[in-house]
Amino acid sequence: MAGSGDEKSGYRRDTKIAHLGRDPAAFGGMVNTPVFRGSTIIAENLDTYEDTSRRDRKGAMVYGRMGTPTTFTLETAIAELEGGSGCVAVSSGLAAVTCAVLAFAEAGDHILMSDSVYWPARKFCDGLLKRLGVETEYFDPLIGGDIAGLIRPNTKLVYLESPGSITFEVQDVPAISKAAKEKGAWVLMDTTWVASVLCRPFELGVDVSIQAGTKYIVGHSDAMLGLITTNEAAEKPIRDAVRSLGQCAGPDDVYLGTRGLRTLSVRLARHAETALKLAEWLQQRPEVERLLCPALPDDPGHEIWRRDFEGACGLFGLVLNAPCPRPAVVAMIDGMSLFGLGASWGGYESLMIASYPEKIRTATTWDAPGRTFRIHAGLEDPADLIADLEAGFERFNAVRKEH
Ligand SMILES: *Cc1c(COP(=O)(O)O)cnc(C)c1O
């Protein structure tokens, strides 16, 4: 797998995670950039106040909504980690998705979106975006270079998510990006699973990397945060859209993002290790049809994942091998002691939800003999998590027998 050396600072990934974006000397020696709370920034004089160019000067404080040193610390660190030219923080992962799409899409445009994308992104495209006169067409996440056949003269952008939400298909991002570039379309990718470090989106041909910082960057389930990282060409359109839409992230949430970032590597390594242990255990269960986990050698996406990614996180899925009466699923899920039943992921705690990809897809069908589930492996002891899953299957089987 590719190394993670840095061309910019010369330091390796974990060193960068600990040091990027902060400047203790600028804040009286404070290790962490403090939380700047504020709206108004007082200008020295009228000339400065009326100088609109300062809005585009990196690191300049102009108005609270446009960022403070608290924001710039995180944005600088994320942009450098991902290898992008700039990053802007917004209020949530979904705000990052909608701002990024609205930065490019205009009435009369056609956009291509992977059939495996995060469901609220789909809802945005089929609802508000459609109302604005933009047509969204969904495509098979495994289409690869054949995406060329779907690109029309008015196709403004191609939107990817790899691995896909809920179903974890690994997309051939370089092949799709190449085809999109040849036809002049922008490439946007939801990189939440990547957590800024598990692949190099810009080297794979992506123009805009969209991340729910809410997940692994914050890492403790205690803040909402969106991050849009861009290459040079996409930076201005994205900044303009974020400003026009009035988007910004709150200072305390941004601070929690930066604080989470500093421990990202050790957390991710443990999340990934536990996820693999759980997935390997689940693979042996008689109830399980297949795992949806690119880190497993027999996963259909494993080869591309090895080629393009530098590791995995704690999020994966599984499919059961026979029809699952709802009461059996309810008995399993509702009775879990350690796995919480909740949206979101990337915190220190484990989660498990039932999922319904067969109801969402339009370009492809989701063929699964039994229910699909998504698991987030938290930082608990893996043996306790396995025991919780084992007890869950016992409840599941006891109720299933009655049906
Ligand atoms: C959670 C999530 C989002 C949205 O993030 P929020 O901060 O919850 O708005 C976007 N994409 C993916 C893949 C996610 O899992």
Residue with the smallest CA separation from ligand 1 atom 5 is 93
Specify whether 65 is catalytic: yes
Identify whether the C-beta of residue 261 lies closer than 8 Å to the C-beta of residue 74: yes
160, 217, 344, 376: residue to mutate for ligand 1 pocket, most atoms within 8 A of CB: 344
Which tens digits make up the pLDDT trace of 285-317? 999 999 999 999 999 999 999 999 999 999 999
Q: Residues 174-185: what's their mean pLDDT?
A: 98
166/176 Cα distance (integer angstroms): 21
84 with 7: CB under 8 angstroms?
A: no
Instruction: Give the predicted TM-score (pTM) of the model.
Output: 0.96
List Cβ neighbours of 205 (8 Å cut-off, separation of 6 or more). Answer: 173, 174, 176, 177, 178, 180, 181, 187
For a pLDDT cut of 70, what percent of the chain falls above it? 98
CA dist 65 and 81 (Å) reads 24
Per-residue pLDDT of 313-338, as tens digits, reads 999 999 999 999 999 999 999 999 99
Give the per-residue pLDDT at 402: 92
**Residues paired with 376 in a beta bridge:** 315, 351
Say yes or no to pLDDT of 7 above 80.
no
Q: What is the pLDDT of residues 73-107, one digit of tens each?
A: 999 999 999 999 999 999 999 999 999 999 999 99
β pairing state of 110-114 and 135-139: parallel
Whether 190 is catalytic is yes
Cα–Cα distance measured from residue 57 to residue 388, given in angstroms and rounded to the nearest whole number = 53
What is residue 57's predicted lDDT score, i.e. its pLDDT?
81
Give catalytic status of residue 63 as yes or no: no
**pLDDT for residue 59:** 84
Question: What mean pLDDT do residues 352-364 have?
Answer: 97
Q: With a 6 A CB cut-off, is 167 part of the ligand 1 pocket? A: no
- The model's confidence at residue 9, banded by pLDDT at 50, 70 and 90, is low
Average pLDDT for 253-270: 98
Inform me whether the pLDDT recorded for 8 exceeds 50: no
Q: Give how far Cα 247 sits from Cα of 68, 85, 156, 385, 395, Å.
A: 14, 20, 23, 39, 46
Rounded mean pLDDT of the chain?
A: 96
Distance CA 271, CA 159 (A): 27
Residue recorded with tokens 């040091």 = 19
For residue 343, the Cα-to-chain-centroid distance in whole angstroms is 14
Banded model confidence at residue 3, pLDDT cuts 50, 70, 90: very low
Task: Check if 92 has its Cβ closer than 6 Å to any atom of ligand 1.
Answer: yes
The pLDDT tens digits of the residues spanning 23-64 come to 999 999 999 999 999 999 999 999 999 998 888 788 889 999
Q: Is 388 a catalytic residue?
A: no
Range of weakest confidence among 2-6, 306-310, 342-346: 2-6
Residue 153 — pLDDT band, cuts 50, 70, 90? very high
176 and 208 in contact (C-beta within 8 Å)?
A: no
Cα–Cα distances (Å) from 374 to 69, 150, 318, in that order, read 37, 30, 7
Considering the candidates 16, 109, 118, 138, report the single residue annotated as catalytic.
118
Predicted confidence band of residue 403 (pLDDT cuts 50, 70, 90): confident
Q: Is 192 in the pocket of ligand 1 (CB under 6 A)?
A: yes
Q: What is the mean pLDDT of residues 163-172?
A: 97
